[in-house]
Structure 1
């Protein structure tokens, strides 16, 4: 008498189990970014391949601080950040790993001023900086190279989505910013007083994940996506012109500014990613420098235990898919 009911209950439970598995398998990989030319090929790749339109979901943030909060709070699975930002949250106790390197800035990050043409003229004036993100390190290097002190200026904490309006409305006298804001300020007549060509190799963008929350299925999706993205980047590096509209969808730059912007960063193809990973000593020195600056600026209270910060697992998977 009870057997049919027993088997019916088992069948219902089994169906619920299958439904749960299906939903888990279909959960897209959430990648968080702010707006930066180096991240745009990721968006192009997702639109180009139908499978990634369901497997990948981009979460767009207004600034880097929001991206960092997204990975800390597990609102996203993968975050596009600068390497110094990765060192920062690792030092603060979050067990993240760098799993990919995207690009290197070579002029696309800059100190821009609308009314002052020299650093000397800027002394005593207000400089807007997103101090919770890359801006803190960039500011430190600007001061070091020009033999200046932070007290020579009035530093205003300013998130990047406010940089352009703050300069135009004269709320600050200069900003340490990056493209597309840099190009838009240039077009408005601003002067470039310092940029990342003066610190080559130091501003690199990477993808990070929460190490213990990133499962095998997510690794497989990300590696397949990055293998496809490497082909996109290779095509862009060969001839960017056909990609003008797709890359410029979020940047919204005039044509001349768009091409100038991409001349000021190096997009990493697979071979370049591999080369970067092979430069272990250079990475260690750079991470040590980031850690030291963060501690000096009292953003962190200790040195980074970063021995396992950079992981080549995804790179190995991508190379096997090549």
Structure 2
């Protein structure tokens, strides 16, 4: 009996005693998680937030099993699930409402300027689904096709340098790089506000870890929504985020105005497995990813939505 007990101590007598590791990239929409940690709204011993420089690293760690869950974009969640790793979406962080955009050097917001930018300029695009969603909607809007475009694969941080040296005249980008390009004279000609509801960041948990970490996950979501309420009424939240993200407060204000951050009630509506809007968005995204060769046409995505870890209304 003593040997069994000692072994149990080494492995963790209860799986829920092990910390739940949640990976995130650096993104304003995820900051309520870090505010919740700062304010002690969940135990640091129970929940370990693992911040990484890029979402690509977060996705790799999730696939490798080094994380129980992750804050990632919906298209990234679809890609992971298509690799045969069942996931549950348990929370929606934010919906882009202008935080992603197509910008050009000289234009006005009109159909003709958008068509000119897409047809005649070298367009920098990070080949993720958010950028593809914007481009797909934009070319549909003006009656073009992909053969009409001169696309260059550049990550958002590389786009700034390319803009400065004049090698690109248009870009598909997102905050905070969007604000930096606008400061350099770029004009938005198409934004995510025109396809609202399609570019989404979510919290996913590996299905094979849910049972072992259920109590911690409940604590995490409760802390998140308390912090979200706090950020709406406290100016100190912007100071907190400014220190962590190293962005000017005014730029942060602008970014948060371009993000819709669903509250608890809306999360229930979005994540409803039978009638939730997120399920329809997942179908649209999956089709787009298959059309653009980002997913196999035969791919089966083991991705579910769930409200069972949300705090009680």
> Which TM-score band applies after superposition, normalised by the shorter structure?
0.7 to 0.9
Equivalent residues of 1:84, 1:137 under 8 A apart: no
Structure-1 separation of matches of 2:225 and 2:6:
40
Residue 65 (structure 2) pairs with residue 70 (structure 1): no
- Which residue of the partner structure matches residue 140 of structure 1? 136
- Which residue of the partner structure matches residue 190 of structure 2? 194
- Which residue of the partner structure matches residue 176 of structure 2? 180
Q: Secondary structure at the match of 1:94?
A: coil
After superposition, the CA RMSD in angstroms is 2.6
Alignment counterpart, residue 221 of structure 1, candidates 209, 212, 216: 216
Structure number with higher helix proportion: 1
Residue 297 (structure 2) pairs with residue 302 (structure 1): yes
Deviation at 1:199, TM superposition (A): 0.4
Structure-2 separation of matches of 1:173 and 1:62:
27
Q: Comparing 26-35 with 221-230, which one deviates more in the overlay?
A: 26-35
Alignment counterpart, residue 247 of structure 2, candidates 235, 245, 253: 253
Deviation at 1:24, TM superposition (A): 5.9
Structure-2 separation of matches of 1:254 and 1:131:
28
TM-score (norm 1): 0.84
Deviation at 1:281, TM superposition (A): 5.7
Equivalent residues of 1:129, 1:156 under 8 A apart: yes
Structure-1 separation of matches of 2:264 and 2:238:
22
Alignment counterpart, residue 307 of structure 2, candidates 293, 297, 312: 312
Equivalent residues of 2:21, 2:69 under 8 A apart: yes
Equivalent residues of 1:63, 1:161 under 8 A apart: no
- Which residue of the partner structure matches residue 282 of structure 2? 287
- Which residue of the partner structure matches residue 116 of structure 1? 106
Bigger radius of gyration, 1 or 2?
1
Q: Secondary structure at the match of 2:309?
A: helix
1:274–1:284: structure 2 CA closer, same or farther, 3 Å change rule? closer
Structure-1 separation of matches of 2:276 and 2:299:
16
Would you say how many aligned residue pairs link Structure 1 and Structure 2? 306
Alignment counterpart, residue 230 of structure 2, candidates 232, 235, 254: 235
1:141–1:101: structure 2 CA closer, same or farther, 3 Å change rule? same
1:68–1:256: structure 2 CA closer, same or farther, 3 Å change rule? same
1:246–1:275: structure 2 CA closer, same or farther, 3 Å change rule? same
Structure-1 separation of matches of 2:52 and 2:163:
21
Alignment counterpart, residue 206 of structure 1, candidates 198, 202, 209: 202
- Which residue of the partner structure matches residue 277 of structure 1? 271
Q: Secondary structure at the match of 1:268?
A: coil
Equivalent residues of 1:37, 1:179 under 8 A apart: no
Question: For structure 2, which runs of at least 5 residues remain unmatched after alignment?
Answer: 108-112
- Which residue of the partner structure matches residue 6 of structure 1? none
TM-score (norm 2): 0.86
Q: Secondary structure at the match of 1:30?
A: strand
Equivalent residues of 2:12, 2:18 under 8 A apart: no
Deviation at 1:308, TM superposition (A): 5.4
